[in-house]
């Protein structure tokens, strides 16, 4: 390009495009939605991607000129329709709004990015799934450990942990983050350990520093240490958590009061399941399209909070015997006390997503109508609280005692907002009468304007003798009097003519203009007062963030427990008996998923399973395909999982000692890319199991013999030495059996 051409191009860059380019340079990796009047516009490569994803028209700006660029846009009021599509396509979207009223400036309108929406940082209802958390994760790699942190900004849940690659892989599989933050220098390390299935975003090395993370977390939580959260020793986890808070500030999320605590994911508190086990058991996802998962069968929750918590319980079954038995006791009580259960179910149905509503309130993004939903949800909790306190179950009484009535908040919402509040404060008519004297007066002027104009029209018509006189309004003249030509000779001298039409003439009067300014001024003043009152009201409501979050958590627990009780009633599940023994005794066990897929009237063939550490550590089952071997393998694991979640189980009777780890291997395949045969894969996976199991572990193995097209299923429980010895003994017998046949 010649110097002349370059100069020409620089000259032709409009102030608008100069402003756009300056902002785009700050957010080069984001799709910039640039507000121009009533539209959000995208330019260049952003426009090409946007048009393709949204299916909208791609045009050109400055066609044929040196500054020609691609252009695609949509109306600003359609942001909630189009934004989710862009985010779900994996784009980071920077929303650039007008920061001042165009009427108040003679130069280009000031603009700036008000929010950066990414797959892991979203509060838009259309982006989120009601019964699924939307986690943002951050990883910090060291030679010894990997730190990890998860945050759902839409609910305020903030979690952290650290461990080896296998443990971190398990957490990534369980929490399924929508976006993962990784240090730039560790890109290949992450891909090698965890694969390429995650939506990654890379940050600079300096963000991953211990001092910076400590300071960031303590500053946010307003504490002098992190000991109160029980994470002070998780240094790698702390660094990962600090990275998440940094990322929130970079994405323009500064109002995060709802992130009020951080919890440690205690590895020792939950049943260990590696990624192979989670995948093989198809707990909440399957590789097969339209497959039914365990979660699909057991989820009888009635609230979004309950649905999200149930998924967490399924991913992290308990090992604490007392905690398990507390859940089972509540499930049993609700199963036997149908009236209490039905009252809880009815009230829970009236409760909106409290976690996400209060998070929106904290972020200042809650609408007046959503605050009404918040109030109605808190109202629905009162009967639950009363019933729980009156129950004979101690765990329910504790829940009832902890539920916060939020009386002042509910009362304040009722008196401050109109019951039929609008979806946006900009639509007006949200603040109730009696709150602000000037607002009430201005509303009377605005609302009585029509009757005043009708009275003026009738009065002037009678005074002038013009029967067809009309008072009307347009954007050019404002209010005016219209007189048909047949009566224009009756127009008084003081009327001012503004426009002549074919059949009529239009006039204004001093009285009409004076009232017009009063009406228009009233509407503008009403808007300002309402917005100001609403913002102050939101700030006042923010003091109830933690009580509402507490209520949301308790209702979620209660919802999961009523879900278990309804599941037990619907499917004839029985209460398992758990203790500190090392046995597993299942009478007439059934596969919870398969039995729901059978044709009506087709009975499920139930099975007994018995394992202990002394008389029967191993069960080996052989037989042809489709004989039910894999079903009994999986159903054993699922029954144990359900029991340790605190649910009743699909069996006539179950007595079991608490299991600490579950390993399943359902066949194996070549890993050619890593130079490993099927045999080597199986040996490595079996070695991993033998190196990690304890005397409380449950091991479920299935081996496919290709030549004979038969599978062998092993169910094992016991100590390492005993299991290994017995495996060799059973394999010897099995080989003798094959040779004989």
Nearest partner of 702 among 625, 606, 596, judged by Cα: 625
Cβ proximity of 457 and 472 under 8 Å = no
Superfamily assignment of 572-740 in CATH? P-loop containing nucleotide triphosphate hydrolases (3.40.50.300)
Q: How confident is the model at residue 726, as a pLDDT?
A: 56
DSSP 8-state secondary structure symbol assigned to residue 659: P
Q: Nearest 10 degrees: CA dihedral of 330, 334, 340, 346? A: 100
Residue 653 belongs to what H/E stretch? strand 653-657
What are the tokens at 23?
């902002």
Angle, CA 261 vertex, CA 260 and CA 264 arms, to 5°: 160
Domain covering 136-265: architecture: 2-Layer Sandwich (3.30)
- Report the distance separating Cα 720 and Cα 726, nearest Å: 10
The Cα 386–Cα 176 span in angstroms is: 37
Buried b (16+ CB within 10 A) or exposed e, 455-471: ebeeebbeebebeebeb
Fold (topology level) of 437-537:
MutS, DNA mismatch repair protein; Chain A, domain 3 (1.10.1420)
Q: Provide the pLDDT for residue 305.
A: 96
For 48-100, the pLDDT digits (tens) are 999 999 999 899 876 666 667 889 999 988 888 899 899 988 889 999 998 88
CA-closest candidate to residue 374, choices 393, 358, 391: 358
**Confidence (pLDDT) at 303:** 96
How do 661-666 and 272-273 pair as beta strands? parallel
The model's pTM is 0.84
CB neighbour list of residue 464: distance below 8 Å, 6 or more residues apart: 490, 491, 492
How far does the chain reach from its first CA to its final CA, in angstroms? 84
pLDDT in tens, 182-197: 999 999 999 999 988 8
Instruction: In the chain, list all ranges with CATH 3.30.420.110.
Output: 136-265
Note the pLDDT tens digit of each residue in 105-137: 778 889 999 888 999 998 888 888 899 999 999
159 closest CA partner among 246, 261, 256, 250: 261
pLDDT at 674: 43
Q: In the chain, which segments carry CATH 3.40.50.300? A: 572-740
Using the Cα atoms of residue 407, residue 409, residue 414 and residue 416 in order, give the sign of their dihedral: positive
Evaluate whether the domain defined by 13-117 bears CATH number 3.40.50.920.
no
Give the C-alpha separation, 504 to 489, whole Å.
Answer: 12
| Beta sheet of 93-98, edge-to-edge order | 59-61, 69-75, 39-43, 31-36, 93-98, 111-117
CA distance 550 to 556: 10
Q: Please list the ranges in the chain whose pLDDT falls under 70.
A: 1-12, 62-67, 666-688, 691, 703-741
Closest of 663, 660, 627 to residue 644, by C-alpha: 660
What is the pLDDT, as a whole number, of residue 474? 82
List the beta bridge partners of residue 624.
710
Two tokens at 332? 């049993």
b/e burial code for range 289-306 (CB count within 10 A of at least 16 → b)? eeeebbbebbbbbbbbbb
pLDDT in tens, 538-589: 999 999 999 999 999 999 999 999 999 999 999 999 999 999 988 899 999 9
CATH 1.10.1420.10 boundaries in the chain: 437-537
Cα–Cα–Cα angle for 26, 27, 28, nearest 5°?
105
Q: What is the DSSP string of 498-515?
A: EEE-SSEEEEE-HHHHHH
Residue with token string 């971190």: 168
Would you list the DSSP string of 367-423? -HHHHHHHHHHHHHHHHHHHHHHHSS-HHHHHHHHHS---HHHHHHHHHHB-TT--S
* Count of CA atoms in the C-beta half-sphere (13 A) of 461: 15
């Amino acid at each position: 390009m010649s110097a002349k051409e370059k100069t020409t191009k620089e000259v032709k860059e409009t102030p608008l495009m100069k402003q756009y380019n300056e902002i785009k340079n700050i957010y080069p990796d984001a799709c910039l939605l640039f507000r121009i009047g009533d539209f959000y516009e995208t330019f260049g490569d952003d426009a090409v991607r946007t048009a393709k994803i949204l299916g909208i028209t791609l045009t050109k700006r400055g066609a044929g000129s040196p500054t020609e660029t691609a252009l695609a846009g949509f109306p600003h009021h359609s942001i909630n329709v189009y934004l989710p599509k862009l985010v779900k396509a994996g784009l980071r979207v920077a929303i650039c709004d007008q920061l001042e009223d165009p009427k108040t400036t003679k130069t280009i309108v000031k603009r700036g990015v008000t929010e950066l929406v990414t797959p892991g940082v979203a509060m838009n209802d259309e982006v989120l799934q009601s019964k699924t958390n939307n986690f943002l994760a951050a990883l910090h790699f060291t030679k010894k450990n990997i730190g990890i942190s998860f945050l759902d900004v839409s609910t305020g849940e903030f979690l952290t942990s650290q461990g080896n690659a296998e443990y971190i892989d398990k957490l990534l599989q369980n929490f399924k983050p929508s976006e993962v933050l990784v240090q730039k220098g560790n890109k290949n390390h992450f891909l090698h350990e965890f694969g390429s299935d995650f939506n990654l975003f890379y940050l600079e090395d300096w963000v991953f520093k211990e001092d910076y993370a400590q300071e960031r977390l303590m500053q946010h939580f307003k504490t002098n240490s992190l000991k109160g959260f029980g994470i002070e020793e998780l240094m790698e986890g702390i660094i990962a958590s600090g990275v998440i808070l940094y990322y929130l500030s970079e994405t323009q999320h500064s109002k995060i009061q709802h992130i009020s605590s951080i919890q440690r994911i205690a590895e020792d508190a939950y049943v260990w399941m590696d990624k192979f086990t989670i995948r093989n058991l198809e707990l909440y996802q399957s590789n097969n399209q339209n497959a039914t998962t365990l979660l699909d069968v057991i989820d009888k929750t009635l609230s979004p909070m309950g649905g999200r918590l149930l998924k967490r319980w399924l991913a992290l079954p308990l090992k604490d015997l007392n905690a398990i038995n507390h859940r089972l006791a509540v499930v049993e009580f609700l199963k036997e006390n149908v009236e209490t259960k039905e009252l809880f179910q009815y009230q829970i149905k009236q409760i909106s997503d409290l976690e996400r509503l209060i998070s929106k309130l904290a972020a200042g993004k809650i609408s007046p109508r959503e605050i009404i939903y918040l109030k109605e949800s808190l109202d629905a909790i009162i009967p639950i609280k009363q019933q729980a306190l009156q129950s004979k179950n101690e765990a329910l009484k504790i829940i009832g005692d902890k539920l916060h009535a939020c009386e002042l908040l509910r009362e304040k919402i009722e008196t401050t907002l109109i019951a039929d509040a609008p979806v946006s404060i900009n639509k007006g008519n949200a603040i109730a009468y009696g709150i602000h004297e000037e607002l009430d007066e201005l509303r009377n002027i605005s609302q009585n304007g029509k009757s005043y104009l009708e009275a003026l029209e009738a009065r002037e018509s009678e005074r002038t003798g013009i029967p067809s006189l009309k008072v009307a309004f347009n954007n050019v003249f404002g209010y005016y009097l219209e007189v048909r030509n047949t009566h224009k000779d009756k127009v008084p001298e003081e009327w001012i003519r503004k426009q002549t039409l074919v059949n009529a003439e239009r006039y204004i009067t001093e009285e009409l203009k004076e009232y017009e300014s009063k009406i228009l001024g009233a509407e503008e003043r009403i808007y300002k007062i309402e917005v100001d009152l609403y913002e102050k009201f939101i700030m006042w409501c923010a003091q109830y963030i933690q009580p509402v979050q507490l209520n949301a958590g308790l209702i979620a627990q209660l919802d999961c427990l009523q879900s278990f009780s309804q599941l037990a009633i619907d499917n004839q599940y029985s209460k398992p008996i758990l203790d500190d023994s090392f046995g597993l005794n299942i009478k007439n066990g059934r596969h919870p998923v398969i039995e729901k897929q059978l044709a009506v009237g087709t009975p499920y063939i139930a099975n007994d399973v018995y394992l202990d550490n002394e008389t029967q550590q191993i069960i080996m089952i052989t037989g042809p395909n489709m004989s039910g071997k894999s079903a009994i393998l999986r159903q054993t694991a699922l029954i144990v999982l359900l029991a340790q979640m605190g649910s009743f189980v699909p069996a006539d009777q179950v007595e079991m000692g608490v299991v600490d780890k579950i390993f399943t291997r359902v066949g194996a395949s070549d890993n050619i890319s890593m130079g490993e045969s099927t045999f080597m894969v199986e040996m490595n996976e079996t070695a991993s199991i033998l190196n990690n199991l304890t005397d409380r572990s449950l091991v479920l193995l299935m081996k496919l013999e290709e030549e004979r097209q038969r599978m062998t299923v092993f169910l094992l429980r016991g100590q390492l030495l005993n299991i290994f010895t017995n495996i060799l003994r059973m394999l010897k017998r099995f080989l003798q059996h094959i040779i004989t046949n």
